[in-house]
Structure 1
Amino acid sequence: MSRYIGKTQAVAVLSAADWWKERCFLADVSIFSDAPLWSKGNLDVFRQLFEQNAIEGSDRDFFDKLKEQLQGASPAIKQLAAEVLWFYMLYPQKRVYGPDKKADQIRTVWSWSGEEIPDARWIAADVLDGIGSPGVAYLTRRFEQLTFFLHAMIAWKSLTDEERADLMTNDRPWGFVAWVDNLPNAGKRPMRGALLYLVFPDELERVISPDHRRLMYAAFKPLIPTGQVPTSAKPSALEIDRALSVIRQQLEREYGTEELDFYYPPLQQRWSSVSAKTARRNVAGAIEKALEPYGLELRQCGVKKSNLAACKPVDEKTGFWADPADATNKPLRWIIQIDLTGDEPIARLAEHDGKQLLGNRRIGFSNNAQEKSGAIAVRIVPAIYTGEDGYIFHEEWEWLLLLCFYPALTKGSSGQLLDDFDPSSGQLVYMNRPQSYVFGGLVTLNVEEALLTAEVNGELRRLTYLEATEAIRKLINLAPQDSDANDEVTRG
């Protein structure tokens, strides 16, 4: 049951999508009134005003430009514009696009028609809560997303009633997916995924990121029965959609429930580790390519050790290495504690009973024997403090602390320690003396929506990867050469 997304707010969002589907998509009626706003003629007029009258320049915001584009348009076209924006805003979740902001913007555009929205229940907070994180392109390239959507709607309205009925019923939903994928630029627009899910929330997943979809497919591919696995080396979007549908069926049988979502446990952990590994390889490849012209190399701490069990034992009571000396002799991870017992998560260097633990600022080691180390990538893993029960080492989540040096680090040993990094100042000590660096950053490797649920002092507490990232960002300051000592960490 792909309608389940791990929270009750989705009920209102998907009920609103069903309302839109029956009134606007399958008929021509308005969301907020009984006017026939969603006719092919109206959509085509709006598309021409919007697409063919594009206003260049970044010094004006989207709505300022839209108001100019709609000057002289009829009230019906302005109201249609508000409803098209309403549909576009249904998908982004409230963390990235708040429901109050959405409602204000929809009201503003509708008000250009000289009227107020007659039926305001469809801009209530729970309706506009959103259902997923759409990614940067969906939010920042609004013109491309809306243009694609308008073209799709006009093409849909151009079909006969029989053709539309066939796409909605025969080979459901794959006939419709194939039809959408034949539209220009469908594969390049995240709006494709939002449209497909909101039309078929019972059959398709809410995953609109192509990268996430490929990672999920790669992680769960062994579950697909022989004969149903895509044969092409690079499966199409439709093939991956079909594969995810089969994977869901297998997972529902495995867990004995339909209440599963790829962005929540227990499924999230099973593919996000693939995400972290892939992201780490991609980051490493990009850095190595950038260093190569300078004759420099990237050093990755602990890259040959796939998990903590392959490193050294950890202590769930102290939230650190069981033997603190393991942090002073080739530490393979930098363990950062995240305290969940307060009002908000707080990241800190490893401590126990209020005392700093030996080696908590020794972040890693590298082979510096050849004097070619131009960058160091330190693997960070979190120890989540849950109160009296101690710590959870949630190594499915990971970050990289990236430090770049020019010239290369002074020649050291083949297992040279990065002795002392002070996150409050960003200062690094190397071979017993201060070491400058020209760039530093905190690189994220997991998906923002990744969720950890833990019992904290008798109550369930949820922590997202994004919230953990923000906590670590607040802990770590960086001081690249020729910059202020308190520059905040750069996120990747």
Structure 2
Amino acid sequence: MSRFCGEVLTKPILDAAAHWRDSALTDEKSVFTAGALWTREYLAALHRDFVLQPDVGDGVFLTKLREQLSQTPAAAKKLAAEVMWLLYLCPSSITAKQKRRVIQEVWSWSGEPLPDSPWLTDAVLGGIGSGGPGFNQNQWRELAFVVNFVIAFRQLPKDQARRLVGDPWEFDEWLKLIPDWEARQFRHMLLFLLFPDDFERIFGQRDRRTVLQVFGGIEARRITAMNPVELDRALRHTRRMLETEYGTTQLDYYVPPLVDRWKQIDFGRVASAITADHVRAALEEIDRDGTPPSAQSTGYDLVEAGRRYPPKLVFSIAAKAATGQEFDRNLFSGGVDSQAFKVLEKLGFEIATKDLITPLIAKFLEQAKGGTDLAVRGYLEEYRGLQVRVSFGKGNAARVSWIAFLGRKSDGAEGDLPRFPSFQREERASALLWRERNEPTRARLGRHSGRAPHRDGLVRIEV
């Protein structure tokens, strides 16, 4: 399935897209409030004041947009903010913090503050794939495309509209009616958001063509002649062949094993271009815009002036500053012996082991205290060679939640699962490090490790 994106958590973003589809696209409701915003009246106001009056001169996009919408009704300005939210669901080249800043500013032009919403979290706004410089430079064109698209959708008979949102390929064909459909990146983003099992998260035209040439075996001349719909169908056919070849649907063109077959980078050239000033500029950008959820480090931090930063994110941003090109974090490795870390250290920056246990246990205790959230996604899978396992129950909340650090395959029935369980007593979280069900088989543990278990027994921790 093309919804698989490696380490990127797509569910919050796809849930947001489904909310928009059901509330705003097929209805006229607001994404953030209970009122109606995606109406013909307010869409027509944006079309009149923005689409039909483009400002192609020099200047900052938001500054020009505010002037264009100066006479637009307040509700239509709120709609413009929600359109920007929709545009920002996919791009990971803009941080969640920056996205929220833009959405808040545009909404504020209505004279009201942006309300709190679960659709404005970092998880929702973290992004799925890079839009690249072209998307950032052409936001006004992407905004116009969305307005034209929804206006055209509003004019459809209701039965046809319902059929379109349920049929990926009929929807794909219908989008050909929207002005500028062949050039806009949001066209590709929209298809992925609505039909993530049928369309790829490949938003740049160059990448779409390169993937088809490498994996589909199609000549470059023939690919160049294809329109976007034909490329979509060829990409779908190529994915099916790859899923058969690899025996899994968990494939993505931007993560191994596929990325290594088509994304070639000259790491040495990029690394040699990075200076300490580029790294400091990257740190300033992270201080300003924050760290995307998918870019959080798991094992190490770059430490500067008492603050901690994800080293791979720092290297990626510094590389972009040095070369002027996006440098995808999936294209290089991190770790104590990695080239990226060695470059940062050579430039005088400290790479330190991340203290994960304290926040990990704190997160576990907080979730266990709630007693309703059973999800375990987002927890580490491994910590310094130990497998990490977490449970809050299956189907229903367990009486005792637990987190385990396992040095090898362990069998709970034999009593050798070291766990950190938590339960609530008198509004106070209690935890025990114990061995479950039966006494541990000391002889077997001794044979495995060559020594007796260290500090075996019961430890009680009060928090």
Q: Which of the five TM-score ranges fits, normalised by the shorter chain?
A: 0.5 to 0.7
Residue in structure 2 matched with residue 112 of structure 1 by the alignment: 109
Matched residue SS, 2:123: coil
C-alpha separation between the residues in 1 aligned to 2:151 and 2:213?
35
Residue in structure 1 matched with residue 63 of structure 2 by the alignment: 64
Residue in structure 2 matched with residue 244 of structure 1 by the alignment: 235
Say yes or no: does 1:20 pair with 2:4.
Answer: no
Residue in structure 1 matched with residue 245 of structure 2 by the alignment: 254
Residue in structure 2 matched with residue 97 of structure 1 by the alignment: 94
Q: 1:462 to 1:73 in 2, by over 3 A?
A: farther
Matches within 5 A, 1:194-213: 194-213=189-208
Structure 2 counterpart of 1:40, one-letter code: R
Q: 1:245 to 1:176 in 2, by over 3 A?
A: same
CA contact (8 A) 1:178 1:238 kept: yes
Structure 2 counterpart of 1:80, one-letter code: L
TM norm structure 1: 0.55
Deviates more, 1:65-74 or 1:260-269: 65-74
Residue in structure 2 matched with residue 153 of structure 1 by the alignment: 150
Matched residue SS, 1:72: coil
C-alpha separation between the residues in 2 aligned to 1:53 and 1:446?
32
Q: 1:91 to 1:258 in 2, by over 3 A?
A: same
Matched residue SS, 2:332: strand
Matched residue SS, 1:188: coil
Kindly provide the CA deviation profile for residues 74-100 of structure 1, in whole angstroms up to 9, marking residues without a partner as x. Answer: 22111101101111111211xx31111
C-alpha separation between the residues in 2 aligned to 1:153 and 1:64?
24
TM norm structure 2: 0.58
Matched residue SS, 2:162: helix
Q: 2:172 aligns with which of 162, 168, 177?
A: 177
Say yes or no: does 1:192 pair with 2:214.
Answer: no
**TM-superposed deviation, 1:50:** 1.0
C-alpha separation between the residues in 2 aligned to 1:127 and 1:80?
19
Structure 1 counterpart of 2:202, one-letter code: V
Structure ranking higher in strand proportion:
1
CA contact (8 A) 2:129 2:201 kept: yes
Matches within 5 A, 1:123-134: 123-134=120-131
Structure ranking higher in helix proportion:
2
Work out the number of aligned pairs and report it.
304
Percent pairwise identity = 32
C-alpha separation between the residues in 2 aligned to 1:68 and 1:36?
24
**TM-superposed deviation, 1:45:** 1.2
Structure 1 counterpart of 2:193, one-letter code: L
**TM-superposed deviation, 1:56:** 4.7
Unaligned runs of 5+ in 2: 280-321, 349-463
**TM-superposed deviation, 1:160:** 0.9
C-alpha separation between the residues in 2 aligned to 1:251 and 1:462?
31
Matches within 5 A, 1:401-480: 448=328, 450-453=330-333, 456=336
Q: 1:271 aligns with which of 250, 253, 262?
A: 262
Residue in structure 2 matched with residue 296 of structure 1 by the alignment: none
Q: 1:336 to 1:51 in 2, by over 3 A?
A: closer
**TM-superposed deviation, 1:71:** 2.0
Structure 2 counterpart of 1:189, one-letter code: R
- Cα RMSD of the aligned pairs, angstroms, is 3.8
CA contact (8 A) 1:272 1:447 kept: no
Structure 1 counterpart of 2:158, one-letter code: D
C-alpha separation between the residues in 1 aligned to 2:77 and 2:269?
55
Kindly provide the CA deviation profile for residues 333-377 of structure 1, in whole angstroms up to 9, marking residues without a partner as x. Answer: 9897999xxxx9xxxxxxxxxxxxxxxxxxxxxxxxxxxxxxxxx
CA contact (8 A) 1:133 1:449 kept: no
